[in-house]
Structure 1
């Protein structure tokens, strides 16, 4: 080997040693990009406060939202606080007012009606708190909405009812509708989707359209009367699984559970799946509360990282509904209830 070639080879080897040493030190410290991204993330979210106020706790839907949201935000170094109005609209309004005065960074709220909380939600955002509305919105469009498209839910329920009870089925076409609270977005928009489909089929006859205010006993009493007046009822459509379980019980008591197709929409808890397995529900349209809980955390983190003025934009995270029936109502499709 010539001296010139030898010197060149040694120079390359020396450079490799230097580069190798630099690479090793870089690996020990991690990448600059990773450090910068984590610093930005922690600055945006760490130490922030997320407040959660559902209509009531001790309900599978709101408890699952709260469980997932708490786990997600606390893991990120955020503070989580919750208020339970216990299904009392006045108490909810007072609790929200107190929360707004405390100025948390994010408020997650479930609206009992489209009007009750709108002024306080607007006030919260005007003073710098992001508001995320879950599943039932108010007339005020806040920074984010996480939940289902209720009109879509209504259409999907109605389209399946038409397949079972509409033109060409040979059935009576008689349908009962059990709404929740009439001024709640879940009722207002869901009934719009239902009637949009029903009105297209002259064979469908809505023989009862009443509000049970999310209560299973009220749904049972309403349906007991309906099934007596219309023993040839073809289907019952309820706007929440727990409430509609009362309607299903009334239909079972009348000996008609094999004749009447009972439909409901809801969170997809083990209670809902049990109703399907027991034959009380024919089909159930799940909007997956566990997934919604993750979306709530994602919405909160996104808003905090963007750092824009609360209310300056509206972001929607719509949940994809999934049909459950006796065949698939098990396992991961049904979230477990908390142990008492």
Structure 2
């Protein structure tokens, strides 16, 4: 009896099928990989980093929320980090994104020129960069794909037009700005001042920065009112919504001679306009800025660059007064 094992013979037709299947799999593996897909054919999860100069600013709450929701819907990852209101920290955050090889970086800088060295580092690493809500100074070098947000010059003009309607052709005005050096602060002031050139009887007699902070805005308002007794100040214009706290305080003190113009449209501003405490505001909604930023980032990374508006992706800026406040929901805070 033969005790040696006998190797079974494989039928010829089975050998052909096996070779053919292997060849098909080999060709599939060597085929060109579609943009946005991994080698296995599964959709790639894009990593998007967002540096916001100070995430504690209330305005950014809905922007951040909408970015995270949109990223989840589109199958992307978004990592949002705060610059803590410090340029050196903002630069460091962007450098971290570069070192960690994020697919795309969103920036909301406090200093449009100061952030450029970090932008250049991303450019050199072939990582695309978009600006959101606050701009970067592209004339200082560095490539920014687009800016997603509002035209802050138009925002400032809107505040100027509200001011003229509120006080007429003459009056002294106290001005409360946001954080000095930010694109929003610079451009909103430029827009306001260009409107006032056409109305020389309206004069800005005091100006201080509140850094988008409610407590600082309230203190500045109180300072203005102590310097300018009743009848000497016609209005106070605040670049952001922070001015509403001062307006409410003034209303309680009986200084109804001062009109208040603010910026943005959170719930407390909406109520103040409805109550007549604030004359009007320019409505900047943070949620669509966050949504569009992620959508455009994903489109760009997929190779659909024509779907991304360039050089700016501006949003509307409705003017809100008591006449139309009921037509608009608060942009945040409800």
Fold-level similarity (TM above 0.5): yes
Paired position in structure 1 for 2:18: none
Measured in 1, the distance between the counterparts of 2:57 and 2:197 equals 34
Match of 1:251 in 2: 250
Aligned residue in 1 for 2:209 = 211
What do residues 72-119 of structure 1 show as CA deviations (whole Å, max 9, x unaligned)? 122221122121233343333322221222121111121112222111
Contact 1:173 1:205 in 2 (8 A): yes
Q: How does 1:44-123 map to 2 (within 5 A)?
A: 46-123=44-121
Q: Distance in 1 between matches of 2:313 and 2:102?
A: 22
Structure 2 equivalent of residue 315 of structure 1? 311
Is the contact between residue 156 and residue 189 of structure 2 (CA under 8 Å) also seen in structure 1?
Answer: yes
Cα displacement string for residues 290-311 of structure 1 (whole angstroms, at most 9, x for unaligned residues): 2212221232123223367xxx
Please report how far the alpha carbon of residue 219 of structure 1 lies from its aligned counterpart in structure 2 after TM superposition: 1.9
Structure 1 segment 279-294 matched on structure 2, within 5 A: 279-294=276-291
Q: Distance in 1 between matches of 2:304 and 2:254?
A: 58
* Alpha-carbon distance, 1:254 to partner: 4.0
Q: Unaligned 5+ residue runs, structure 1?
A: 1-38
The 8 Å contact of residues 45 and 78 in structure 1, kept in 2 or not, is answered as: no
- Which residue of structure 2 lines up, in the alignment, with residue 176 of structure 1? 174
Q: Name the Cα RMSD after superposition.
A: 2.6
Q: Tell me: CA distance 1:64–1:202, structure 2 relative to 1, closer, same or farther (3 Å).
A: same
Runs of 5+ consecutive residues of structure 2 not aligned to the other structure = 1-33
Equivalent residues of 1:187, 1:239 under 8 A apart: yes
CA distance in 2, matches of 1:45, 1:185: 37
Partner Cα distance (1:332, 1:174) in 2: 30
C-alpha distance in 1, partners of 2:210/2:58?
18
Q: Contact 1:155/1:197 (CA < 8 Å) preserved in 2?
A: yes
| Alpha carbons 1:166, 1:201 under 8 Å: kept | no
Of 80-89 and 286-295, more deviation after overlay is shown by 80-89
**What TM-score, normalized to structure 1?**
0.77
Where is the helix percentage greater, Structure 1 or Structure 2?
1
Alpha carbons 2:90, 2:109 under 8 Å: kept: no
How many equivalent residue pairs? 289
Q: TM-score, normalised by structure 2?
A: 0.78
Distance 1:336 1:221 in 2: 24
Give the match for residue 136 of structure 1: 134
